[in-house]
Structure 1
Amino acid sequence: MSRVKRAPWRGVAPQNQLSDRPRLTTSAMIASLAAEGQRTSPAPFGHALAELARSRPEILGLTADLAKYTDLHVFAQAHPDRFYQMGMAEQLLMLAAAGLAHEGFVPFVTTYAAFASRRTFDFVSQGIAEEGLNVKICCALPGLTTGYGPSHQATEDIAIFRGMPDLVIVDPCDALDIEQAVPAIAAHDGPVYMRLLRGKVPLVLDEYGYRFELGRAKLLRDGPDALIVSSGFMTMRALETAKLLEADRVQVAVLHVPTIKPLDEETILREVGRTARLTVVAENHTVIGGLGEAVAGLLLRSGVVPPRFRQVALPDAFLDAGALPTLHDRYGISAEAMVKSIKSWL
């Protein structure tokens, strides 16, 4: 049985707790993040990896019963002799990848982020990171990108992995980011954890002349009133928020931080320190241990104190199951919710 069919163990809040909340008509539990009419690209990770492997025979693809649900099936179809289905056994998956890396291969392993971070932490730490092995761990359903509830919502995966030495952490925004990140992390000599968006992934960053560089943050737009420092699909939400706020004559800058570790400290300190605007860190992750605390710690250690600092992030809680757009509104990470929050902070 495929893991995507596994029933959640935590459902939505009781009806009497929902009566005063807006209800959306969609029932999608794993929905596309793209708005209606938004440009998308199908399976960017799978296509990028399959293309890269044409010139890199050492690249392998391994998964834990989730090729279809991590877009690794595209790689499997293109390179069936280099694809390994390891079954529902993430710990075996990680150690098998470690062994292959010891032999000079570059394994790309996929599963859900919840399974990689919670079930295999010690195996990644001792078997991969401590050995400095060239394993790329690429995981779908990071943060709140599924409505299946806490069993599948990896809202704390970055917090779990940030404390692991020598592990690079990447959180791409859109299809372009993923397509460009794949060869970049393959070229990096060492272990990488990358969050994935799957299926029909939105395409937004090409409008900003963007190019992914490992370890570098990019200012996508400028503005004197507020600065949003963001990662993952929350950069897309930040750009949507900035456009909505223009109607109220509020000018918002957006700094995209696709590499959480190592953090681009120089760029973040420069952008936060150059004006007296509101600084907001937006992330698809719990408020604990993610980009927000990484940026706050950097500012504290560097003596850069913004006049106002706020976080848009998921609460430190086990989240509800339900329709994904409804949950994004409920937990404050939709563009409309961000507009409301930023207006209240200005």
Structure 2
Amino acid sequence: MTHFEHNLPILRRRAGYTQESLAEALGVSRQAVSKWESGQTLPEAATLLTLADLLSCTLDQLMREELSETDFPPPPAPDTAAEEARFALFVAYDQHMDRFSVLMAAGVFLSVASIASILGGCLVWGETGFIVLPFFLCLAAAVFLFIWGGIAHSDFRKAHPTVPPFYNADAITAFRKIFRAGIAIGVAAILVAVALLIGLSVLWQFQPNGGAAACTVFFLIVAAAVAALVYLGIQHSKYHGSGAAQEEASWTYTPSPASDRRCGFIMSAATIIFLVAGFVFDAWHPTWIVFPVGGLLCGMVSAAGRK
């Protein structure tokens, strides 16, 4: 005795199929499925095996056991409101992290470029008090971006302490390729800036303010490279924050990785050393070496802190 016509609609509804969608999956007509469920016909043996796979059941459950609706309730209807809320959170999180990455990277760029602004001021105004004006303007803009972005980031974390893993494996893999290339290019750019500084210093050594012009170019390149490293680091935390890349139900967002904080400390210390050595000991030229060293350390710290 078979219970096929009784069990098929129960298993079909549990698997989320309609008669039409099941027929399409099996490559038969809807009328054929309707006849199976009314007990008029039985499918072929090969179709029974495929049907059991589609419905995630055994042949015994499909043919011999007398199933009950209570044993196999239909799947719950999707929670549309929850899905909409999840999508809204994803959009807000993605936009926030992109904005935060840009603000922090811009702040780091302005911090390092403020040194270039001093040297550029020497080229424009000479040795006057005006050379510190662009420096403080750049520094003020950097501090503004750091405070604005930091407070906005803190407020977002407080408002959304727990964030599900939004990004799938393909998106994470694509970003990792960009991340590896970006880190390599950023560190290489700092080395190129060092080589360019040496070359321009030799080329422009007999020109007025040639050294200042060479250092200006150097610090602008370093500023762009370090800003790119910071941007990539924050983007990395967006995709890989506390287990987002792991197969977990959810993850709790935490502050920026320690490597990002160490990188900011390294470049801040380099800037302080350069300014103190320049203004106090008039050692602008030999002290520029702290920036390529700091940039290299940032690159190594960022690379070591990523999975």
Work out whether the TM-score is over 0.5.
no
TM-score normalised by L of structure 2? 0.21
Q: Higher strand fraction: Structure 1 or Structure 2? A: 1
TM-score normalised by L of structure 1? 0.19
Q: Higher helix fraction: Structure 1 or Structure 2? A: 2
